[in-house]
Copies of this chain bind each other. A is one copy, B any other.
């Protein structure tokens, strides 16, 4: 692979990350190309469809979330972290909420596992109600992101966390 090609690929990824986080998945490819200082054709050479570009960007965030869940973080803090991530990154929120973009199965499975372990630990420690499932939590996070976006802050997340106590 030529050096300029590799450089451009990285520039596109970095720019796409910023623009998608700020604007969400509705942003035109031309806009990402313009801000990255390349032509639209160059974007399409590296990522065959718009969807594949978004997938590449989202995948990186999924990995970050998985790492966070495995880092020994406390459950409540992780919940807050996820909501912050959704609030800061419209593309992530869209991808999680609508399910329109499918994440590679192994990456999603890894996140799910790390996620379930964290929940299990919190339930064993009786911090969280035992009748909550990982799927429940994902749905609640999606809801908290919507709430936080509507309000502009994450203050109300505490209410949901309170409701999760045994």
Contact = CB atoms under 8 A, between A and B. Distances in A.
Contacts of A151: 135-136, 139
Contacts of A164: 159, 163
A27 interface: no
Interface residues of A, number: 24
Interface string A111-151: 00000000000000000000000011011101111111111
A162 interface: yes
Contacts of A140: 147, 156, 159
Interface of A: 97, 135-136, 138-140, 142-151, 156, 158-164
The 3 A-B residue pairs whose C-beta atoms are closest, nearest first, are A163-B163, A143-B147, A146-B146
